[in-house]
Structure 1
Amino acid sequence: MTEHSRFSTRVQRLGWVALLCLAGVGPVQAQALKPSVQLQRAASAAPTRTVDYIVALVNSEPVTNFDVRQRVLRVEQQAAAQGRSLPPREELVKVVLEQLVVERALVQQAGEQGIKVDEASLAQAEQAIAAQNQMDVEQFRRRVVSEGLDPNKVRNDLRNQLLMERMRDREINARVQVSEADIDAFIRERRAASTDSQEMNLGHVLIAVPEGASETQVRELQAKAQDVTNRLRQGGNLAALAREFSQGTEAARGGAMGMRPVSRLPELFVNATKDLPQGGIAGPLRSPAGFHVLQVIEKRQGQIPELSVVQTHAHHILLRPGAQMNQQQAVARLAGFRQQILGGQASFEDLARQHSQDGSARQGGDLGWVSPGQFVPEFEQAMNALQPGEMSPPVVSRFGVHLIRLDERRQAVLSEREQRDIARDLLREQKSDEAIQSWTDEVRNRAFVEYRDAPQL
């Protein structure tokens, strides 16, 4: 991963919150929406003339009927675009009004605490929104105007979202603590709940019993299996005994079944060996196939689903729009590169070395193995949609325009330290959700709210 392709979790979250602001959805609803947002003409669905008035006062600051109407229309349009259902409009209006009240209270508290958003941060967030809508900043501003939205209002809404985000970070960082004991308990619970968490490599010797065998034959074969068991317990070599006696499919491999989750082993084998240490012997065990002798070659705790990760290996070419080349020209140029690569006229690596404006250029655009969350969302979303060997069309991100080739994916084998780091992040996120709700309720309850006339849409 490279200097220009990375983006911190905080900046990703700020861009995401800001994007939701334009969609008309506040922080509480953010979790339910996807980050691909198209600007909608909210004003087009509104009545041509509506008398505006105050519907609520939050510490003497007004929330107007116009505020509620615009937010409701945007939420409805966003839900329609995503195919989501909403509550009846009367109920939705109440939810939106309460949301606006909470937002006013939060922004006011941010001001009281001296939290500010500088112009550089505001510009960065605006650029992030433009990139996620596949525009540059100037195109984005023109679109805002063309959609009948007030650019100053949009910018102020964005500033308020950033203020709330910064204040939330300050409050939640002080409230949320994850101890080593919390992590231990989390991992224990996940391991207990995961049926695939344990993995074993069993040595197996099968003494097959033919169908229709007589009782005498069965006793003879059982005695043979018992002899193999005794020899193993006396220190006999599993591989040698398996090759000599076993009629199982793994006999040629010295009887080793290979490391696999317990869910992929016969229940008979699991029940007999689950409490045995490494090197332990079980058997003879009777099944319809015959008599089985087992030895635990290796046993380990497998990856817990929440604590493992799919890593991606990809290449990319980055072009940065500027004075010499605008975004459309960069897109067209990368589309040409793509055709050259697909037609066998050039290699991805050579074009990356010659043209990419990223630190990975000298490696032919190789980004190495990366885990989820290490790239900006618009880049990662496009990369995740590819199958190994596929190449994307030009992708616009806040850093420029990319051509992406996905090479391969793998399930990462995480160390104990890495698993604990992921567990810590998961726990912090879980505790943060609870703390955010508690803190938001506290701010709302401290605010003096006076409701006036009900909103009319």
Structure 2
Amino acid sequence: MKTSLRSTLAIACAAAMACAGLAHAQSGSAPARRGITDIMRSGPAVVPPAAPRPAPVQRGQRIAEYIVALVNSEPITNTEVQKRLDRVLDEAGPEAQRMPREVLARQVLEQLISERAQLQLAKELGVKADDAAVDQGVEIVARQNQVSVAELQRRIAQAGISREEFRGNIRNQIILTRLRERELESRTKVSDGEIAQYLAAQQSGAAGAQDINIAQVLVAVPENAGAAQVAQLQRRAEDIAQRARAGQDFAALVTEYSDAPDKSAGGALGLRSAERYPPLFVEGTQSTPVGGIAGPVRSPAGFHVLKVLARERGAAADAVVRQTQLRHILIRPDAKRTPEEAVALLQDYKRRIQGGTADFAALARDHSQDPGSAKNGGELGWSVPGQFVPEFEEAMDRLQPGQISDPVVTRFGVHLIQVEGRREAKLKPEELREVARNTLRDKKMEEAYEAWSQEVRARAYVELREPPQI
């Protein structure tokens, strides 16, 4: 389905997070592919009341079970914190593995609180993930780790994770992804003027055409913070910035002080075009050399101390990209047809097409529920990277010309995809505008997510009980 509503939270990555136990189920060897991303982002760190520090919990040691927090009367247990903490350590880089375990435990607890509040909101709004979507998520995790589904199931069982727990983790991540897309869609509209400005910046080689990598320490400011608390947090951020400028290791400052997610990477946000960073980050670091410190700068989320890690020239507007010509058949589940029945129907269509008893274009014209493409035999034309939602694009990219996918579940319905051709070509003006729209929308999504997640967290009633065992 051709759409500008491109998700920035790929279900492939979301589902893969649930498979972190895979890393220690392979006799100590790392997964073949380590692109396993934790999409959960936490708000301000909540520090439980001080308590005597127990001996560290060893892997495989029996864990005491008790409630560490309540989120709208729903408990989070010590076992849940320990399991997530083990997964974080399995996937973490050396910086995070050197962090004090109690610091990581506090971060994991806050992550679980934020996640639980969002899942409760999803339930209120009727956001769900059907079994067909979960099945597809399992397959994506297996492909990311370059194993079969059967081997994946064997390894998660070896890691002590039940099939139901594993599928439940994947289901929750899909639900969270769909919730965020739904809630943030209205906040990520891109105007024609913004697109024109973006393209002009690329053509002129302005700062907006740069790729930059920025690391941050975020000192989060609660939504209802008073003036005195804001001033105190600002002083904390200024002290962190001063220590960074004095030469203190930035990754260590991130580990100790930052309330931002993805701290295992030393606070690095990744090499990306300037348009995909918040404008205040770009403006705040515009005159900062590589290795330099900027800020603190203020955003709705709090105070940010920034370090410029790298600057590279961005891709030219006339760059050659790989384009894919494709068509699809879309079946939307409804009250009369479940997602599983839609999958079975499309599997039957695939068998008939490959057996020579049916024609793809004819089936699309007669049965596809995508009004924009059905009348043209399902044709979507030539696409550019980033044009489709991640689940669709991931399946499309694995196909060779002439091949037909298995049924693919997205938030739009269930698709049967056929790739007709591929080529390397320069983008036409309308394609450039679509790429620009997607890039700008991704940037707005990232900016909006931080504020939205804190809003959801602030609306939840959270009661902290005993701190988790560490």
TM score, norm. by length of structure 2: 0.48
TM score, norm. by length of structure 1: 0.49
Structure number with greater CO (CA < 8 Å, separation at least 6) is: 2
